[in-house]
């Protein structure tokens, strides 16, 4: 059974500009794993933007906001398996919400092209 669907599109230059301002945005939104992963990529801003879009899509699919009682961005981690397939891991309040919703699997797909990154999330229960 599908519990929720979320999608988000992000302008890569917007994320690149936030990253260029310093570590604040990066450390607020991304986990150490994500930072290490993105910084190793040929186009780090593209990878950060795709992960930001995925986090937004997860929040939409779960029906929660972020911060102020919702899930924080750094409580949603987007990892890649050995083949490069993205996977969603929830931490803290994200994991607690996962448990109460009866979630069995979170499916995620990411794509980026020049100026845009998009993510699609399906939550299965």
**Per-residue pLDDT tens for 93-115?**
888 888 888 899 999 999 999 89
Q: Kindly state the greatest CA–CA separation across the chain.
A: 42
Q: Which residues are catalytic?
A: 60, 112
Q: What is the CATH number of the domain that holds 65?
A: 3.90.470.20
What's the whole-model pTM score? 0.93
CA distances from 5 to 90, 98, 117, 120, 122 (A): 16, 14, 17, 8, 5
Per-residue pLDDT reduced to its tens digit, 15-57 = 999 999 999 999 999 999 999 999 999 999 999 999 999 999 9
pLDDT for 63: 86
CA distances from 74 to 2, 30, 39, 114, 115 (A): 25, 5, 17, 25, 24
The verdict on whether residue 8 carries a ligand-binding annotation is yes
Q: Is the dihedral of CA 74, 78, 81, 84 positive or negative?
A: negative
Beta-bridge partners for 108: 121
Separation between Cα atoms, residue 45 and residue 83, nearest integer Å: 21
pLDDT for 20: 97
pLDDT for 42: 96
Print the domain residue range for 14.
2-124
The verdict on whether residue 56 carries a ligand-binding annotation is yes
Rg (Cα) of the chain, in Å, rounded? 14
- How many domains does one find in the chain? 1
Spatial neighbors of 105 by CB under 8 A, at least 6 apart, are 123, 124
pLDDT for 100: 84
Flag whether pLDDT at 73 surpasses 80: yes
Separation between Cα atoms, residue 44 and residue 23, nearest integer Å: 14
């Amino acid at each position: 059974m599908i519990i929720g669907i979320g999608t988000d599109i992000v302008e890569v230059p917007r994320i690149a500009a936030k990253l260029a301002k310093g570590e604040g945005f990066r450390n607020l939104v991304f986990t150490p794993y994500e930072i290490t992963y993105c910084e190793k990529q040929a186009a780090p801003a593209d990878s950060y933007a795709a992960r930001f879009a995925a986090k937004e899509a997860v929040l939409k699919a779960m029906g929660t906001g972020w911060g102020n009682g919702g899930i924080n961005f750094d409580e949603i981690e987007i990892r890649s398996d050995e083949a490069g397939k993205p996977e969603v891991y929830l931490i803290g309040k994200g994991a607690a919400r996962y448990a109460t919703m009866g979630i069995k699997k979170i499916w995620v797909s990411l794509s980026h092209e020049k100026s845009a990154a998009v993510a699609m999330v399906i939550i299965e229960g």
